[in-house]
């Protein structure tokens, strides 16, 4: 059974803290993604990675960084958490597809609250 796991389901942090969100997939997928999901705004892409050590900015990268040292693991880092980063964070992985896009497999999400 394919699986994407995220390190925490719920997380509460204080403003200014450095926050690490971890994502691990066991499907040997090349592509990995970090999204945040907010009511009325849908899923918005923060960063994605198409190979180890490769990353590209998504639509809302400000205040975030990522790390992909191993193929199966993609980490999202909030350098200095702020209250406007309170959100649901979803990790996903996929194969490159055949040029037409491919199914993304999502993790269960991390609900982050920044106080």
Partner 1 sequence: EDKVVQSPLSLVVHEGDTVTLNCSYEVTNFRSLLWYKQEKKAPTFLFMLTSSGIEKKSGRLSSILDKKELFSILNITATQTGDSAVYLCAVPTSGTYKYIFGTGTRLKVLA
* Whether the Cβ atoms of residue 6 and residue 108 lie closer than 8 Å to each other: yes
Chain mean position to CA 59: 13
Which burial class, exposed, middle or buried, applies to 7 when counting CB atoms under 10 A from its CB (0-12, 13-18, 19+)? middle
Choice between 42 and 84, CB closer to partner 1: 42
Least distance (Å) between residue 7 CB and partner 1: 15
Report how far residue 68's alpha carbon sits from residue 59's, in angstroms, rounded to the nearest whole number: 19
Choice between 80 and 102, CB closer to partner 1: 102
User: Where does this chain bind partner 1 (CB under 8 A)?
Assistant: 4, 31, 33, 35, 40-45, 48, 50, 56, 58-59, 90, 94, 96, 99-109
Least distance (Å) between residue 12 CB and partner 1: 19
Least distance (Å) between residue 35 CB and partner 1: 8
Least distance (Å) between residue 79 CB and partner 1: 23
Choice between 13 and 111, CB closer to partner 1: 111
Choice between 87 and 94, CB closer to partner 1: 94
Cα-based angle 29, 34, 40 (whole degrees, multiple of 5): 135
């Amino acid at each position: 059974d394919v699986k994407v796991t995220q390190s925490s389901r719920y997380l509460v942090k204080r403003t200014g803290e450095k926050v690490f969100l971890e994502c691990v997939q066991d499907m040997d997928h090349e592509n990995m993604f970090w999204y945040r999901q907010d009511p009325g705004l849908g899923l918005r892409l923060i960063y994605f990675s198409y190979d180890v050590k490769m990353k590209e900015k998504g639509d809302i990268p400000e205040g975030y960084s990522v790390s992909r040292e191993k193929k199966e693991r993609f980490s999202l880092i909030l350098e200095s958490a702020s209250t406007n980063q309170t959100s649901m964070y979803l990790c996903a992985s996929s194969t490159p597809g055949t040029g037409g896009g491919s199914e993304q497999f999502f993790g269960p999400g991390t609900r982050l609250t920044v106080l």
